[in-house]
Structure 1
Amino acid sequence: MNKSEELLLLKGINKKFGPVQILYDVDLSIYKGKVHALMGSNGAGKSTLMKIIAGDYTLDSGTIHLDNQLININSPGEAKSHGISVIHQELNLVKELTVSENIYLGKELTIGFGNFINSKKKALSKTKEIINKYNIQLDPLKKVKDLSIGEQQLVEILKAVSEESKVLIMDEPTAALSAEETKQLFKVITSLKSKGIGIIYISHRLDEIQEICDYVYILRDGRNVSEGLINHFSNERIIEEMVGSQIDNIFPSSDRKKGDELLRVEKIQNNILRSISFSLYEGEIIGIFGLIGAGQSEILNVLFGTKKKADGNIYVKNKLAKISSPIDAKKLGLAYVTENRKEEGLLLELGSEENMVLPSMGKFSSLGIKKQSLIKKVANDYKETLKIKLASISQPVKNLSGGNQQKVILGKWLLTGPEIILLSEPTRGIDVGARVEIYKLLDQLANESRKGIIMASSDADEVIGVSDRIFVVFEGEIIAEIDKSEATRERLMEFASGAKYLKEGV
């Protein structure tokens, strides 16, 4: 790329946490009007590098230049003052406020000269200007709580560009978006590029990287291992560089044989679901596929007792099951790996060993006293079995990568000895290396341990690659059952979008 267009330069960045070196002499160049993919397996150092740029961490050594000027970034405030903004996976919006109020929240005095009414009017006017500038379809007077996830993502982008950002960091921006919302986001990114904004784009979705990015940087074990124009990198090459070896097949290829019926669902429904029926067998993985919001996660929530059903029956091993709460479900041998790791799956301030034993605490305490040595032994065993990368099992799980957090949740539920495992979006925001390990584990649990597994996912490739049978959900109803041998991405999407369903008048 043209050196004169270089916007941000990081040179020789090093970072340690205690005795553990995380980054080793990392270099990164961000150019005006370009999208730069930052790739790497969980634990490669991506998050640490981004937090240094965003001012959450300070570097140990190295330099940062912006517009050819040496700068210091010691806080998020300093990063913003230099025109560096971050759009996190977890959106930071006030749901009861409008779009324009969110965009200028905390900046009222600078736009309204101290008068609150003037501030609101000015915020609305300036929001309209930015919306028009970037050709974004959004109502500035609409409350955030009434927006889709994709629209909320656009509000975060507007917040960033309202501060005259030069560099925009996007962390898994499409993780919770539908296909249509992703298209809209990409149009906005193209508009941002045309205004000269440099974008750092972090995603584990390789097809997205190929579509929207101009350049790619790949980290492995805290070091630069490869970089270049995206059209010089196939998906296979990116994966090889990330994991350090060739992966022949992302999905396991074992020929599983199903056994006796474990679970039967008969015509369950509520305000979202409509007459859901299916069976799950020993040694089987069922995929429930649908676009985001179609109802696939709702099915798992009803099965695990976190949501109520209005009608219908659930049978576990041919016995009518009363599931009114997760406690009921757990007693019946069900486990649930939720899609919302940080809010529902983990206690972020605790270590992995404490998180793992929470649902099974009765096994690890006596007369109210925890059996600490047993807890450590079991947690270490699962750390090895699940290949969890961490400095210590006492390390707070909030400091772990997404893939390692997901493995801690899996360990937590495996400790309960379940026969039926429910997973919602199990690899969302997880790199390909960790995905491969999780897919192998699911195959082993079904094939060798004879568990029954239900996986709800909006990733068509994942559902096809892992499942034995696939149920497609559209507007809260199962409208197709497809055997793995007959499943294609196109066929799943045709049903999931409603095109085939409406055409045939099902």
Structure 2
Amino acid sequence: MPVYALDHVSKTFGEVVALDDVSLEVRPGEIHVLLGENGAGKSSLMQVLYGLYRPDAGCVRIDSVAHAFESSADAQACGIGMVHQEFMLVPTLSVIENILLGRDEGRGPFRQFPDWSAARRRIEALGAAHGLRLDCAARIETLPIGVRQRVEIMKLLYGKADLLILDEPTAVLAPDEIAGLFALLRQLRDAGHAVLLVTHKLAEIMQLADRVSVMRRGRIIETRARGTYDLGALSRLMMGDAPALPIRSRIAPAAERLLVRGLRLPGNRIGVTFSVRAGEIFGIAGVDGNGQTELADAIAGLMPASCDALVLDGHSIAGLSVAHRRAAGVAYVPADRGHVGSIGAATLEETAELGRRARGFLLWPDALRARARAILEAGHVVPADPALRTASLSGGNRQKLIVAREVSGRPTVLIAVYPTRGVDVAAAAAIWSEIDALRLEGAAVVLISSDLDEIFDRADQIAVLSAGRLTPAVARDEADLGELAHAMAGVHGNAA
């Protein structure tokens, strides 16, 4: 299998230097991890390698031969495949239909008509060879997130990819699924494939990486082989003097602030019931697709849902609109930061103002700009220019902007769904610093996340949402990490 390399690649967007003379080599039979904080250039580098961006200078080399990709199709033709953090599957189609989508599988003049039997045999053979068995007839929308990810990997193998790029692949998985993914990646490496893994989770590097390259400010700072690095050294290389995650101050929770009783989600006629006290973080763990987004949307008012009671500080908010719930003190950090939490075409100033209720009939530009600058500064958003388009921000900086905006109104209840998904340690530290400050003021926080470690570290009370049903809450000090992981995988007893 070939050696893939990025050779002195540079890329700018206006005045922003995304990549500055970057060189990186990925060899067959290795797992190479690319590590870096948000805005370091990791995504831009992957976009160049996968043919989505054209570099201003430098090129992609395959076995020393230079290539100028015009599109991702060119990269795929050269054996490069990518599993995006947001899966590129059609939910209403079957596994085999997704794998064959966009491919010419027929013969002669009928190439648009796939040979389904031959395709199924090949998928089964690839599955047997790599421990990646799939039900070809299953519809994507019926599959767990971990299985959908395996479909994405099968798509790459079916397309004869030699280099597999995976962007934050564990962000959506339960602990048991992560172990299965790691075993699969090792098997692919041992079969001779090159695996390029983008992650911000340092613990994953120790388990997987044969080599690690650290990016900072658009440049590769250093590349190290297994056995020549430790987590402390990698963290310092990645972030310099960036702060570590703050240690959460514990306070005695006060009176009940939010009560949810009998809120019925799809597949659960009994309804979800829980309460959160002032100064408390109520953690809801669970794998994507088990009702987390629906629960959060229902509390925020974005999705209609029947319930027995939805009470904030002793007053019912069940019949209120989104705007009136926000005015009553409900703030929301949604799971989808790109479409629900922000608008890519909007300026940072406009995004900082989303969801706020203006008083009177006039909006004063100077006041709006000053408020936007304050939010950008409080959230440590880089760059902090209110005139920039939101789409120009890295994912982590966009997330910091959304959290800072929601916290800036000093709400009494904050619903935070995957607040640190896909962000590095420095960005997570900034996000949690803001959330914790709000909690210390007496706000109730509902934390919904698939990151069990984050739930375990941050929450006072912990429950698991699986198939639309919520397990009874347990205090953080009494919770068992193994039992929570099993509950996330759907192995649990009674649910609320």
Q: TM-score scaled by structure 1? A: 0.88
Q: 2:149 matched to 1:157? A: no
**How many residue pairs were aligned?**
495
Distance in 1 between residues matched to 2:320 and 2:124, nearest whole Å: 47
Distance in 2 between residues matched to 1:36 and 1:200, nearest whole Å: 5
- Specify the alignment match of 1:437 in structure 2: 430
- Specify the alignment match of 1:55 in structure 2: 51
- Specify the alignment match of 2:249 in structure 1: 254
- Greater mean deviation of Cα atoms: 104-113 or 461-470: 104-113
Which among 472, 479, 484 is matched to residue 476 of structure 2? Answer: 484
Q: How does 1:79-478 map to 2 (within 5 A)?
A: 79-108=75-104, 113-114=109-110, 116-117=112-113, 119-245=115-241, 247=243, 249-273=244-268, 274-323=270-319, 325-363=321-359, 366=361, 370-390=363-383, 392-447=385-440, 449-473=441-465, 476-478=468-470
Work out whether residues 359 and 412 of structure 1, in 8 Å CA contact, stay in contact via their aligned partners in 2: no
Deviations 1:417-472 (A, max 9, x none): 4221111111111111111111111111111x332211112222212322233334
Amino acid at match of 1:444: A
Work out whether residues 167 and 198 of structure 2, in 8 Å CA contact, stay in contact via their aligned partners in 1: yes
Structure 2: tracts of 5 or more residues without a match = none
Distance in 2 between residues matched to 1:178 and 1:11, nearest whole Å: 37
SS of alignment partner, residue 219 of structure 1: strand
Distance in 1 between residues matched to 2:95 and 2:491, nearest whole Å: 33
Distance in 2 between residues matched to 1:209 and 1:362, nearest whole Å: 47
1:416 deviates by: 4.5
Residue 279 and residue 91 in structure 1: after superposition, are their counterparts in 2 closer, same or farther (change >3 A)? closer
Distance in 2 between residues matched to 1:42 and 1:392, nearest whole Å: 17
Work out whether residues 270 and 311 of structure 1, in 8 Å CA contact, stay in contact via their aligned partners in 2: no
Residue 116 and residue 362 in structure 1: after superposition, are their counterparts in 2 closer, same or farther (change >3 A)? same
Residue 457 and residue 109 in structure 1: after superposition, are their counterparts in 2 closer, same or farther (change >3 A)? closer
Work out whether residues 113 and 119 of structure 1, in 8 Å CA contact, stay in contact via their aligned partners in 2: no
Work out whether residues 472 and 492 of structure 1, in 8 Å CA contact, stay in contact via their aligned partners in 2: yes
1:287 deviates by: 1.8
Work out whether residues 265 and 291 of structure 2, in 8 Å CA contact, stay in contact via their aligned partners in 1: no
Distance in 2 between residues matched to 1:83 and 1:487, nearest whole Å: 46
Work out whether residues 322 and 328 of structure 1, in 8 Å CA contact, stay in contact via their aligned partners in 2: no
Deviations 1:255-300 (A, max 9, x none): 3343443222334444445454433233332222344455455443
Distance in 1 between residues matched to 2:125 and 2:485, nearest whole Å: 37
Ranges of 4+ aligned residues in structure 1 off by more than 6 Å: none
Distance in 1 between residues matched to 2:461 and 2:491, nearest whole Å: 21
Work out whether residues 266 and 314 of structure 1, in 8 Å CA contact, stay in contact via their aligned partners in 2: yes
Deviations 1:222-277 (A, max 9, x none): 12222212443333332222111375x52323233434432223344444454544
1:160 deviates by: 1.7
Amino acid at match of 1:434: A
Q: TM-score scaled by structure 2? A: 0.90
Residue 413 and residue 107 in structure 1: after superposition, are their counterparts in 2 closer, same or farther (change >3 A)? same
- Greater mean deviation of Cα atoms: 266-275 or 79-88: 266-275
Residue 17 and residue 480 in structure 1: after superposition, are their counterparts in 2 closer, same or farther (change >3 A)? same
SS of alignment partner, residue 443 of structure 1: helix
Distance in 1 between residues matched to 2:492 and 2:137, nearest whole Å: 37
Amino acid at match of 2:91: K
Deviations 1:104-131 (A, max 9, x none): 2222266564255454444334333433
Q: 2:489 matched to 1:493? A: no
Residue 350 and residue 458 in structure 1: after superposition, are their counterparts in 2 closer, same or farther (change >3 A)? same
Distance in 2 between residues matched to 1:458 and 1:314, nearest whole Å: 24
Work out whether residues 265 and 294 of structure 2, in 8 Å CA contact, stay in contact via their aligned partners in 1: no
Which among 63, 70, 73 is matched to residue 67 of structure 1? Answer: 63
1:188 deviates by: 2.9
1:37 deviates by: 0.7
Deviations 1:333-363 (A, max 9, x none): 1111111212322212222221221211524
SS of alignment partner, residue 343 of structure 2: coil
Residue 180 and residue 415 in structure 1: after superposition, are their counterparts in 2 closer, same or farther (change >3 A)? same
1:325 deviates by: 4.4
Amino acid at match of 2:261: E
Residue 183 and residue 394 in structure 1: after superposition, are their counterparts in 2 closer, same or farther (change >3 A)? same
Distance in 2 between residues matched to 1:111 and 1:189, nearest whole Å: 33
1:170 deviates by: 0.8
1:50 deviates by: 0.9
SS of alignment partner, residue 309 of structure 2: strand
- Specify the alignment match of 2:36 in structure 1: 40
Distance in 1 between residues matched to 2:6 and 2:253, nearest whole Å: 54
1:27 deviates by: 2.0
Residue 152 and residue 497 in structure 1: after superposition, are their counterparts in 2 closer, same or farther (change >3 A)? closer
Work out whether residues 112 and 119 of structure 1, in 8 Å CA contact, stay in contact via their aligned partners in 2: no
Deviations 1:18-70 (A, max 9, x none): 22222222221101011111010001110111111112222222343211222
Amino acid at match of 2:146: G
Distance in 2 between residues matched to 1:83 and 1:499, nearest whole Å: 39
Residue 495 and residue 113 in structure 1: after superposition, are their counterparts in 2 closer, same or farther (change >3 A)? same
SS of alignment partner, residue 65 of structure 1: strand
- Greater mean deviation of Cα atoms: 454-463 or 275-284: 275-284
Amino acid at match of 1:471: A
Aligned identity (percent) is 28
Residue 272 and residue 328 in structure 1: after superposition, are their counterparts in 2 closer, same or farther (change >3 A)? farther
1:199 deviates by: 1.2
Work out whether residues 286 and 455 of structure 1, in 8 Å CA contact, stay in contact via their aligned partners in 2: yes
1:218 deviates by: 0.7
